[in-house]
Amino acid sequence: MLAVALAACGGDAGSAAPQLAAPPPARQFRLAAFQPGDTAEAGRPTDVSFRIDQPDGKPLTKYATGAGPHTGVHVLFVRDDLSTIIHHHPPVQPDGTVGDKVTFKEPGRYRVVVDAYPGAPAAQKNFQLFRWITVSGKAHAKPIPAYEPTQVVDGYKLAIEGKPALKALEAAFLSITVTDPKGRPAAFTPWYGALAHAIFFRTGTLDYFHTHVCAPGASGCTSTLGGAQVTGTSQTPGKLEVGVLLPVPGTWRLFIQCKVRGKVLTAPFTLNVS
Ligand SMILES: [Cu+2]
Residue 79's pLDDT band (cuts 50, 70, 90): very high
Q: Report how far ligand 1's centroid is from the alpha carbon of 125 (Å).
A: 14
Q: Report how far ligand 1's centroid is from the alpha carbon of 211 (Å).
A: 6
Q: Are 231 and 194 in contact (CB under 8 A)?
A: no
Please count the other Cβ atoms lying within 10 Å of the Cβ belonging to residue 260: 19
Q: Report how far ligand 1's centroid is from the alpha carbon of 27 (Å).
A: 27
Contacts of 74 (CB under 8 A, 6+ apart): 87, 88, 89, 113, 114, 115, 116, 117, 192, 210
190 in helix, strand or coil? coil
Q: Report how far ligand 1's centroid is from the alpha carbon of 18 (Å).
A: 35
Q: What is the mean pLDDT of residues 86-105?
A: 97
Q: Report how far ligand 1's centroid is from the alpha carbon of 196 (Å).
A: 7
Q: What pLDDT was estimated at residue 3? A: 44
Res 4 pLDDT > 70: no
Q: Are 196 and 213 in contact (CB under 8 A)?
A: yes
Q: Report how far ligand 1's centroid is from the alpha carbon of 70 (Å).
A: 8
Q: Report how far ligand 1's centroid is from the alpha carbon of 77 (Å).
A: 13
Residue 17's pLDDT band (cuts 50, 70, 90): low
Q: Report how far ligand 1's centroid is from the alpha carbon of 178 (Å).
A: 18
Contacts of 134 (CB under 8 A, 6+ apart): 38, 39, 40, 108, 109, 110
Q: What is the pLDDT of residues 197-207, one digit of tens each?
A: 999 999 999 99
Q: Report how far ligand 1's centroid is from the alpha carbon of 241 (Å).
A: 15
Q: Report how far ligand 1's centroid is from the alpha carbon of 198 (Å).
A: 7
Q: What is the pLDDT of residues 107-142, one digit of tens each?
A: 999 999 999 999 966 556 889 999 999 999 999 988
Q: Are 105 and 122 in contact (CB under 8 A)?
A: no
Q: Which range, of 2-6, 54-58, 94-98, averages the lowest pLDDT?
A: 2-6
Whole-Å CA distances, 161 to 150, 241, 262: 9, 10, 26
Q: Report how far ligand 1's centroid is from the alpha carbon of 114 (Å).
A: 12
pTM: 0.87
Residue 66's pLDDT band (cuts 50, 70, 90): confident
Q: What pLDDT was estimated at residue 11? A: 38
Q: Report how far ligand 1's centroid is from the alpha carbon of 19 (Å).
A: 33
Res 8 pLDDT > 60: no
Res 30 pLDDT > 50: yes
Q: Which of 191, 186, 192 is nearest to 159 (CA)?
A: 186
Q: Report how far ligand 1's centroid is from the alpha carbon of 148 (Å).
A: 23
Cα–Cα dist 200/5, whole Å: 15
Q: What pLDDT was estimated at residue 121? A: 63
Q: What pLDDT was estimated at residue 1? A: 41
Q: Which of 149, 141, 165 is nearest to 270 (CA)?
A: 149
List, in order of start, the domains of the chain with CATH numbers: 30-136 (2.60.40.10), 150-221+230-273 (2.60.40.10)
Q: Report how far ligand 1's centroid is from the alpha carbon of 23 (Å).
A: 31
Q: What pLDDT was estimated at residue 184? A: 97
Q: What is the mean pLDDT of residues 172-192?
A: 96
Average pLDDT, the chain: 90
Quote the distance between the C-alpha of residue 37 and its chain's center.
Answer: 21
Q: List residues bridging with 261 in a β-sheet.
A: none
Q: Report how far ligand 1's centroid is from the alpha carbon of 15 (Å).
A: 32
Q: Report how far ligand 1's centroid is from the alpha carbon of 3 (Å).
A: 20
Q: Report how far ligand 1's centroid is from the alpha carbon of 138 (Å).
A: 30
Quote the distance between the C-alpha of residue 124 and its chain's center.
Answer: 17
Q: Report how far ligand 1's centroid is from the alpha carbon of 191 (Å).
A: 9
Q: Report how far ligand 1's centroid is from the alpha carbon of 247 (Å).
A: 18
Res 96 pLDDT > 60: yes
Residue type, 21: A
Q: What is the mean pLDDT of residues 10-19?
A: 48
Strands (E), the chain: 30-35, 39-40, 45-53, 73-79, 85-88, 98-103, 108-116, 127-135, 150-153, 156-160, 172-179, 188-189, 196-202, 208-214, 223-225, 228-230, 232-233, 239-244, 250-260, 263-273
Q: Report how far ligand 1's centroid is from the alpha carbon of 150 (Å).
A: 21
Cα–Cα dist 156/26, whole Å: 48
